[in-house]
Amino acid sequence: MTISIADLASSQWVKHWAGSWSLWTCSYFGHQYTETMINPAGTRLNQAVFISRDGYSYCYIEKNELRVFGESLASMIRSNESLVQAVCRDLKKETDRIREFMQSQDASTISPDAFHDFLNLFYAYVGPHLAVKRTVDFLPPVELHKAFSLFEDARKHSESVYAETEQYMQSFVQSIARNERVPLHLILCLTKDELETYFENHSLPSSSLLEERFKGSALLFKKGRYEVVSGPEVDLLEQAILSHSGNVDELAGTPAYKGVAQGRVSIVLDPSQATGFKEGDVLITGMTRPSFLMLMKKASAIVTDAGGMLCHAAIVARELRIPCITGTEKATTFFKNGDRVEVDANNGVVRKI
């Protein structure tokens, strides 16, 4: 195994993001994170773990590696303030390039060559996105105050790119699902290398294996190499990742917009299925994206597992002036629907009441 259960249990992991990304998409993220991406400070990530269940995925990064990645770039910016503009300009440029490319494509006839061109743009985008999103979490208050508006403007410019790329990628493999008479959700449980194998000889893993992956699977990346795991072992892997979380009476996270609110917990992973969400509920989710906006407008507060000061939830909460705490790591599993909670975003704490 690329990363053993013992390795997982001996390290501390940060839930880097969560959302409706396929296992297939995660295989490209893992390759970019651990193989091709180096930030302007020359720092890279070596390990990444993705857990996927029923089309919803979590990405975990080793805590110290993510800290070094963010701190190294923050240190460069402190010594050269012009880098803020350069990093933000780079993110905007890569955003425009990949959007222009996707808009030029006919979604029903995306060729393998066009998809490979898309991947090059995708990889070029991920690095600046991560640099902008994570650097702010490691800047001291004075430098953060001076740079924050530029970082936030760049993030707003690029906010919907990941949702657009996931739609583009799903459009690309829809033809494979039709031709092979395999449901799309199973095709989305391939890895990037299995897709390349399909292009070469039109062979796919068995439907039973893909069904098992859809129910629960993990991708373990280390320095570009990876292994895909499915079945009961996934639960053991996830338990190992969470083994350092401990038992607590309250959860702490990053205050994204200050304020205090109380309300009923409504845990939402897929906003299209949130039929019971009521005005004044506390929205708890892995991470938000643009499709969450109507729920966010009704919420009394927003709490996420992953994210930082420039995640989608944080940006929207500041616009709506709703108390928001991001990066709690496990709010979606610690709380239950119907719990009464107080969200103290002045101090970054969520507690049951």
Residues 226 and 276 in one domain: no
pLDDT at 40 over 90: no
Residue 258's domain spans which residues? Answer: 248-352
| pLDDT for 247 | 47
Phi, psi of 221 (to 5 degrees): -110, 140
Within 132-253, strands assigned E span 217-222, 225-230, 250-252
Residues 88 and 153 in one domain: yes
Residues 79-123: pLDDT tens digits? Answer: 887 889 999 999 999 999 999 999 998 877 889 999 999 999 999
Taking residues 125-133, report their average pLDDT: 90
| pLDDT for 82 | 87
| pLDDT for 42 | 81
Residues 30 and 159 in one domain: yes
Task: DSSP for 136-166, please give it.
Answer: GGGS-HHHHHHHHHHHHHHHHHHTTHHHHHH
Residue with tokens 């995708």: 122
pLDDT band (50, 70, 90) for residue 215: very high
Residues 71 and 198 in one domain: yes
Q: Domains in the chain: how many in total?
A: 2
Residues 292-342: pLDDT tens digits? Answer: 999 999 999 999 999 989 999 999 999 999 999 999 988 998 999 999 999
Q: What percent of the chain has pLDDT over 70?
A: 98
Residues 281 and 153 in one domain: no
Q: Could you give the CA distance from residue 132 to residue 127 in angstroms, rounded to a whole number?
A: 9
| pLDDT for 9 | 87
Chain mean pLDDT for the chain: 92
Residues 256 and 345 in one domain: yes
- The answer to whether the CB of 277 falls within 8 A of the CB of 302 is no
Q: What is the 3-state secondary structure (H, E, C) of 16-68?
A: EEEECCCHHHHHHHHHHHHHHCCCCCCCCCCEEEEEEECCEEEEEEEHHHHHH
| pLDDT for 224 | 87
What type of residue sits at position 77?
Answer: I
